[in-house]
Each structure stands twice: as structure tokens, then as C-alpha cells.
Amino acid sequence: MEVHHHSHHPKKWKEYISEFFMLFMAVFAGFMAESYLEYRAERHKEHDYLVSMLTDLKIDIDDISRKEINMKEVYDYGRKLSDIVYEDNWEVKSADSAYIWAENMVDTEVILQYANGTIDQLKNAGGFRLIKNKVINDKIKDYIKGQDRIKGQEEGFNSTFQDVLTERSNVMYARLFDYSGNVLNGKSIVTLKKDKINKIYVKTGSKFLSKNPADMFKLSNKTFIYTGQLFVYRAMAIDQKAKAIELIKIIQEELNH
């Protein structure tokens, strides 16, 4: 019985090239599809970061706008308080006003609070690489630097503020006030309980804890320093708000592009 053997003809070189080309194209197409999907995912993520950044910046602007008004009021209260001790017979003529100024100065909220959710994500998740617009990238980083500078200023005047509280507690009685108004805005309407302070005056001959002029001058000095630091803080806050407004404009232009 004969056994027939099938002959195997060697492939031509063109067939090898054709198969290689088809395999290459299949791998290349898969790579391109994967790259495109990754590109689209990153662009969606970039878009989400920018939209979220807009929301945070608008919150910051609202906070700064409210606090800069508070800062101006605190500055005015502090300067009046620091100046009054140099007037003649001020303990009798202006004692009630001094109490009101001092209370308003320490009870009005001035510290900025940033909505940093997006910034934290950009820092921690390496999100800055996803923001392709270099101007936006640089502006966000500059905005972060501005926050850091403001926080540095905060440390200085917070320390002085504690000194103001200490000197005030050495000179003025506490628990002499009624409060009303919207405290959610960081300030309230302060009313001095004049009946109580007048009773103190009748009993002691003074409306203050200390009759030593040096104690009030210490309060005046600390208050003056505090308001000076606050003046700089407010200027930095206004500059930061301008940066936020500019950044919002640039981001909106990018999103609408």
C-alpha cells in the first residue's frame, strides 16, 4: 500500500512580509485605541478638575469679599482703641466706647478659609500634569503660593492677637455684652450692658480692672501692632481675590474653547 506524502511548499518572502504587516497593524491599532481611550479619559479628568477649580475659586472669592470688609472694620476699631488712651480724661468720657471697640475687634472673624479640595487633589494625585494649558497650570501654582504667603502672615498676627487678648483681660471686665445679628457672617451687633458697668464704676471708681495707665498703654501698643499686621493681611487677601478672578476668566475661556 502506497503512502502519499503531502508536499509543503515554502512560503514566499512576500507572504512573510504580508503576515508580519498584518500582525503589526493589529498590534498598532490596539495600541492606538488604548492610547486614544487614555487620552480621552485624561481630557475628561482635566475638564472635571477645571470645573471643580471654578467652584472652589468662587467660594474663595465670596469668603475674601466678606472677610476683607470685616478686616477693615477690625482695623478701624483697633486704631480707635489704640489712639484713645492718649486723649485727656478718656477713662470717663470714652470708656463705654473703648469696651465696644475692643469687643468688636476680637469677635469679628477675619481669618480666610480656602476651598482647597481641587488643589489638594491636584497636589496629591499628580493632577497638574493633566492640565495642558500652561498658563492655567502656572496661575494655579501661583495662587497656591499666594495662599502660603497669606498663611505666613496669619501666623504673625495670630500671635499678636493672643497678646491683645491677654492685655485686654488685664484691663477690661468680661461678661458685659449682649450679642445680636447674623453671627454666620463672622460678626454680630455688640451692645454694652451699661447697667452692669455703671455698678462697677460706683463700687470701684473705675470702669476698668486696672487703674494703672501703663496697662492700658500696653493694650494700645499691642492693638496698634495687631492692626498693622492685619492691614498687610487684608492687602494680601485683596491681591489673592484678584488672582482668583483672573484665574476664573482664563479657565472659563479654556472650557468654552
80-136 pLDDT per residue, tens: 999 999 999 998 899 999 999 999 999 899 999 999 999 999 888 788 888 889 999
State the Cα–Cα distance between residues 42 and 37, nearest whole angstrom.
9
Among 8-12, 19-23, 95-99, top mean pLDDT goes to 95-99
pLDDT > 70? residue 254? yes
State the Cα–Cα distance between residues 172 and 19, nearest whole angstrom.
94
136-155 pLDDT per residue, tens: 999 999 999 999 999 999 99
Q: What is the pLDDT of residue 12?
A: 61
Q: Which residue has the cell 469687643?
A: 103
State the Cα–Cα distance between residues 153 and 145, nearest whole angstrom.
13
173-187 pLDDT per residue, tens: 998 999 887 665 666
Beta pairing, strands 189-192 & 177-180: antiparallel
Average pLDDT over the chain reads 87
Q: What is the pLDDT of residue 15?
A: 62
Backbone angles phi, psi at 187, to 5 degrees: -155, 155
Q: What average pLDDT does range 238-256 have in this prediction?
A: 95
Q: What is the pLDDT of residue 44?
A: 81
pLDDT > 60? residue 159? yes
Q: What average pLDDT does range 29-55 have in this prediction?
A: 73
Confidence tier at 1 by pLDDT (50, 70, 90): very low
Q: What is the pLDDT of residue 184?
A: 55
pLDDT > 70? residue 14? no
Confidence tier at 166 by pLDDT (50, 70, 90): very high
Backbone angles phi, psi at 70, to 5 degrees: -60, -45
Does this model's pTM top 0.85? no
State the Cα–Cα distance between residues 205 and 198, nearest whole angstrom.
10
Q: What average pLDDT does range 72-81 have in this prediction?
A: 96
